[in-house]
Amino acid sequence: MSILEQFSLEGKTAWITGASYGIGFAIAKAYSQAGAKIVFNDINQDLVDKGLASYKEEGIDAKGYVCDVTDEAAVNELVKKIEAEVGSIDILVNNAGIIKRIPMHEMSAEQFRQVIDVDLNAPFIVSKAVIPSMMKNGHGKIINICSMMSELGRETVSAYAAAKGGLKMLTRNIASEYGEYNIQCNGIGPGYIATPQTAPLREIQPDGSRHPFDQFIIAKTPAARWGSTDDLMGPAVFLASDASNFVNGHVLYVDGGILAYIGKQP
């Protein structure tokens, strides 16, 4: 097999959760370009319809389904449906997630549990649902969208950091438990990515200066810029392809070097 063939996803079925837009959509687009059939889900029909329209605009024949990934029974039913309508799931990307920016002393236990449920329990539920078929087929790729908060703490994100730290360890445990079945489970830890959700943090201020948070990120990033969703496409294809068959239990941080950098001297 040539090196380029190792990166091909031709004939593979990839399920990316929460991929109507943003990072999940960019990863799905990359997988389609590499030859994979694309399946995605989201929490309601409106988001699925918007996602389908975006995929159609890109010339991608994606299959979209409504599913709450925290609902184990619904996930199990969706896996059966995907297998019947599209085929066995070769690649799973646990992308769906939420964040609540609330100081810990003001956050309710219910709010904390909600973040843990979506960002940690759901990847467990979805991975558990696809692993039996992957074991039977003798191959599989599971990619968890982790975070720099898998390694770092920061103000107001206690639940998110706890969930993403747990997701890093779930990634390692899936690799440990199912590596012998030729199933690789790895993570991607995005840095600060320029998306519509982060656009307000990058707006030029009335006096012509950068937003304070924008200044903070640029100063902390050796690349001196925000990442783009395109920066995640190559790493995502690598971890989904045969090129990464001996890479297991790893979190690939796509962060412009933030985690390697102590910052400039004042």
* Exposure letters 25-56 (e unless 16+ CB within 10 A, then b): bbbbbbbbebebbbbbbbbeeebbeebbebbe
Answer whether 256's CB lies under 8 Å from 221's CB.
yes
| 89-99 per-position pLDDT tens digit | 999 999 999 99
Q: Is the predicted pLDDT of residue 116 greater than 90, yes or no?
A: yes
The pLDDT value recorded for residue 37 is 98
Q: Report the chain's terminal Cα–Cα distance, integer Å.
A: 51
Cα 94 to chain centroid, rounded: 5
Lookup: tokens for 10: 């031709």
Q: What's the rounded mean pLDDT across residues 178-207? A: 93
Q: Is the predicted pLDDT of residue 220 greater than 80, yes or no?
A: yes
Q: What's the rounded mean pLDDT across residues 210-230? A: 95
Half-sphere exposure in the Cβ direction for 180 (13 Å, CA): 2
Cα 151 to chain centroid, rounded: 16
| 224-262 per-position pLDDT tens digit | 999 999 999 999 999 999 999 999 999 999 999 999 999
User: What is the rounded CA–CA span in Å between residue 15 and residue 29?
Assistant: 12
Is 55 in the active site? Answer: no
User: What is the rounded CA–CA span in Å between residue 199 and residue 57?
Assistant: 23
pLDDT band at 86 (very low <50, low <70, confident <90, very high): very high
Q: Is the predicted pLDDT of residue 266 greater than 80, yes or no?
A: no
Answer whether 127's CB lies under 8 Å from 183's CB.
no
Q: What's the rounded mean pLDDT across residues 72-82? A: 98
Lookup: tokens for 192: 């600060």
Residue of 160, 178, 192, 253 marked catalytic: 160
Q: Is the predicted pLDDT of residue 199 greater than 90, yes or no?
A: no
The pLDDT value recorded for residue 196 is 80
- Tell me what percent of the residues of the chain surpass a pLDDT of 90: 94
Q: What is the mean pLDDT of the chain?
A: 96
Q: Under 8 Å CB-to-CB from 91, ≥6 apart: which residues? A: 9, 12, 13, 14, 15, 31, 36, 140, 141, 142, 143, 240
Give the three-class secondary structure for 17.
strand
Q: Under 8 Å CB-to-CB from 229, ≥6 apart: which residues? A: 22, 23, 25, 26, 193, 194, 195
**What is the reported pTM?**
0.96
pLDDT band at 150 (very low <50, low <70, confident <90, very high): very high
